[in-house]
């Protein structure tokens, strides 16, 4: 089973964006919105594509795992 990673990163404007690799999935989000959307995307990929995704919050040089539990 393959693994995908969604990264939630803070932009220069203080808002957050969801990235998959070098592709921006969604931008201009508040942090809570970004986490909820990234977790939803991860669940959909797990159910639809057999991909076991990971969701990471990346800020100030730190990475926090916020992957939804199964």
Residues 21-70 have pLDDT tens digits of 899 999 999 999 999 999 998 888 777 666 778 899 998 888 898 887 76
Q: How far is CA 12 from the centre of its chain?
A: 18
Residue 70: per-residue pLDDT: 61
pTM of structure: 0.83
pLDDT 10s digits, 49-60: 667 788 999 988
Residue 21: per-residue pLDDT: 87
Residue 61: per-residue pLDDT: 85
CA distances, 43 to each of 10, 14, 33, 53, 61 (Å)? 22, 26, 15, 8, 26
Residue 1: per-residue pLDDT: 41
Name the 3-class secondary structure at 14. Answer: coil
């Amino acid at each position: 089973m393959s693994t995908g990673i969604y990264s939630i990163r803070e932009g220069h404007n203080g808002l957050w964006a969801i990235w998959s690799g070098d592709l921006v999935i969604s931008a201009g989000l508040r942090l809570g919105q970004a986490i909820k959307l990234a977790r939803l995307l991860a669940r959909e990929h797990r159910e639809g594509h057999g991909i076991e995704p990971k969701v990471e919050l990346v800020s100030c040089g730190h990475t926090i795992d916020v992957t939804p539990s199964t």
